[in-house]
Amino acid sequence: MCHACLPFFIGRKSMRKSIFKRLTIFNIVVLSLFLMSSCQDNSKLNKTNDTSPIEIKVVVVTMFEIGADEGDKPGEFQLWKAGQKLNTCLPFAVSHHDICINAETGVMGIVTGMGTAKAATAIMALGLDPRFDLTHAYWLVAGIAGFDPADASIGSAAWATWLIDGDLAHQIDAREIPDSWSNGYFPLFTTDPLLEKQTIDASKLNRHGQSTNGEVYQLNSQLVDWAYTLTKDVALNDYPAMQTLRDKYTGYPNAQKLPFVLKGEHLAASTFWHGDLLNQWANNWTHYWTAGQGNFVSSGMEDTGSYQSIIYLDNVNKVDKSRFMVVRTGSNYSAPPPNLTAIENLRLESGEDGYAGMRSALESAYLVGSKVVDTIVANWPQYKITMPYEVQGNIINVSQQQLVQSNRSSASISELSSITDSENILTAKQLAKALNLEAHIEGGYFRQTFKADHRPTIATQNGDRVTMSSIYYLLSAESPIGHFHMNQSDIMHYFHMGDPITYYMLNADGSLQKTILGPDPIKGHQMQMMVKGGTWKASKISTGGKYGYGLIGEAVAPGFEYPDMQLGKTTMLIKQFPQHTQIINKLSRG
């Protein structure tokens, strides 16, 4: 009996008696049918008012966003939000970031936050969220990583079959280990570090390729193979700064290749590690836990936690763990190039020129991942019930999404990024041509626009000079450095357009001054800057900026002549300013 009908039978006993005495058997039958019908109608109404969960076809899992979800420097999520039109964002207070979906295509994008703990809790919270039906959803983790230079180049994309946890272990401080040990990090319930090519007894892994404590997980290898085959020929973007870094990895032929798609395993550890010795540890660790079946390629922080939550959710039929995929893209190398120590390279990576592969890696994750996502959505009637590699007959082949390529052979992200009107943004080549710029001896491009030769000259120690001259000066991704040099004249700098330019001044007292000329005073950019004569000055621009160039103007007084300029030699500057050796090595010649 439905609860809506109960109040009819509640009342004083005498009243109930009176009513029933007056009812015939026929009346009782009719009344009962009426009440039953009323209950059924109410039940249908309640059911109609229920909101059915939203069916999700693909969940794209990213780990971080740098700032906003659009309109600024992109992290892992921004390209996905724009490219997949994830314009409906729903609150997700129990996790790191709101959920964004495309209600028409059934694609969802999430940002878990960095680290295993945040990733695991975000996936679990999503899987238990009653607003969504994830029963048949495919999951794609798409994020950046450190890549082993022995296997791939920065900007490349690697599909993982095995996920290995790098945190569950014993550790003894390296200063206390026996002399014969290679390191102090070894598997739980063992007492010695791994030997090269040592493997776990495969019988200790269950039939799903998992260890008891969560040190290793094997994904659906058939789905991984399908995704790799689908995307192995996707063209990935390359940038000048990447070529510069690749050239340093002599003896690593794979590290020197243009970005490409491959298969390789992913090691997740909450510590950001770096160096040759730890890179060798990662290879040994991967080889051990996969029983010799896997090869370490990429290093991140989250994926074992994410997949562990997927396993638990699969146990209660909330998701299908066999539909989980991981593609990681190389933003940096996990070991330094020859002739650099681990700490030297890590410091370089932490500077302004670090992560030369970041932009390409973010784009590769989208270019490769979107091919898989779009294919699943286009063939959802088949792929909802049947795995892609099992589908017989015709499937819909989707076109490859593209990132707009500019004349300087580097991609502007067009509608997929913060640039929303890319057709109106000049490239460096177009701007240089329009302003009649030519290469400058210190780096960059210039043209003199004014010389006060209509006024009397003034005497200087190098001879008579006009009172003032002026130039355009441009740095670009192809020529991003204005190397250290000194002018005898004072120079006033004016920012015109493009990306911010960072200036470094070595003063006579040995101090280093850093100033950013740029378009946004709120971010601390200066729009004018004075550099006094006799100051060593260098400038540089990011090779991954929104525009790919920065344009300034310079007013020089007294007017510029080449005898008044001196290019800084590296050895000479280091001798004079040894405390600034690192920046001098980066921004000087010979």
**For residue range 464-473, what is the model confidence (pLDDT) as tens digits?**
999 999 999 9
| Whole-number pLDDT of residue 5 | 37
**Average pLDDT score over the chain:** 86
| Whole-number pLDDT of residue 25 | 42
- Which stretch of DSSP H or E encloses residue 226? helix 221-231
Would you say residue 119 has pLDDT above 70?
Answer: yes
Among 423, 180, 164, residue whose Cα is nearest residue 291:
164
| Whole-number pLDDT of residue 352 | 61
What percent of the chain has a predicted confidence (pLDDT) above 70?
87
Q: What angle do CA 448, 554, 536 make, to 5 degrees?
A: 110
Would you say residue 409 has pLDDT above 60?
Answer: no
pLDDT higher at 68 or 138: 138
Q: How many CA atoms lie within 13 A of 406 on its CB side?
A: 24
Distance, in Å, from the CA atom of 284 to the CA atom of 275, rounded to the nearest integer, reads 14
Structure confidence by residue, pLDDT tens digits, 36-75 = 444 444 443 343 345 799 999 999 999 999 888 888 888 9
Would you say residue 14 has pLDDT above 90?
Answer: no
Amino acid at 169: A
| Whole-number pLDDT of residue 424 | 61
- Helical residues (DSSP H) of 10-75, grouped into ranges: 13-22, 25-49
| Whole-number pLDDT of residue 522 | 85
Distance, in Å, from the CA atom of 323 to the CA atom of 140, rounded to the nearest integer, reads 9
**Contact (Cβ atoms closer than 8 angstroms) between residue 382 and residue 364:** no
**Contact (Cβ atoms closer than 8 angstroms) between residue 128 and residue 134:** no
Would you say residue 188 has pLDDT above 80?
Answer: yes
Structure confidence by residue, pLDDT tens digits, 247-279 = 999 999 999 999 999 999 999 999 999 999 999
- Asked if the 428-587 domain carries CATH number 2.60.120.10, the reply is yes
Among 83, 113, 101, residue whose Cα is nearest residue 366:
83
Number of DSSP helices (H) and strands (E) in the chain, helices first: 14, 29
What angle do helix axes 221-231 and 358-378 make, rounded to 10 degrees? 110
Our CA dihedral for 419, 423, 425, 429, rounded to 10 degrees, sits at 130
Distance, in Å, from the CA atom of 357 to the CA atom of 359, rounded to the nearest integer, reads 6
At residue 77, φ and ψ (nearest 5 deg) are -90, -30
| Whole-number pLDDT of residue 406 | 37
| Whole-number pLDDT of residue 9 | 34
**Contact (Cβ atoms closer than 8 angstroms) between residue 107 and residue 84:** yes
**Contact (Cβ atoms closer than 8 angstroms) between residue 519 and residue 377:** no
Whole-prediction pTM = 0.65
Residues of the chain with CATH 3.40.50.1580: 54-163+211-269+297-422
| Whole-number pLDDT of residue 353 | 65
pLDDT higher at 122 or 209: 122
Q: What angle do CA 418, 421, 423 make, to 5 degrees?
A: 125
Task: Report the pLDDT averaged over residues 320-337.
Answer: 96
If pLDDT is split at 50, 70 and 90, which confidence band does 115 have? Answer: very high
Structure confidence by residue, pLDDT tens digits, 515-569 = 999 999 888 899 999 999 999 999 999 887 888 999 999 999 999 998 999 999 9
In the DSSP assignment, the letter for residue 139 is E
**Contact (Cβ atoms closer than 8 angstroms) between residue 346 and residue 168:** no
Among 540, 566, 230, 174, residue whose Cα is nearest residue 369:
230
If pLDDT is split at 50, 70 and 90, which confidence band does 202 have? Answer: confident
3 state SS of 49 = helix
Location of structure tokens 């001259």 = 469
Would you say residue 81 has pLDDT above 90?
Answer: yes
Which residues, at least 6 apart from 70, have a Cβ–Cβ distance to it below 8 Å?
78, 81, 82, 418
**Contact (Cβ atoms closer than 8 angstroms) between residue 538 and residue 587:** yes
Q: How many residues does the chain have?
A: 590
Structure confidence by residue, pLDDT tens digits, 477-507 = 889 999 999 999 999 999 999 999 999 999 9
| Whole-number pLDDT of residue 50 | 54
| Whole-number pLDDT of residue 394 | 85
Among 204, 226, 174, 418, residue whose Cα is nearest residue 290:
204
Q: Buried (b) or exposed (e) across 60-99, using 16+ Cβ within 10 A?
A: bbbbbbeeebeeebbbbbbbbbbbbbbeeeeebeebbbeb
In the DSSP assignment, the letter for residue 397 is P
CATH code at 54-163+211-269+297-422: 3.40.50.1580
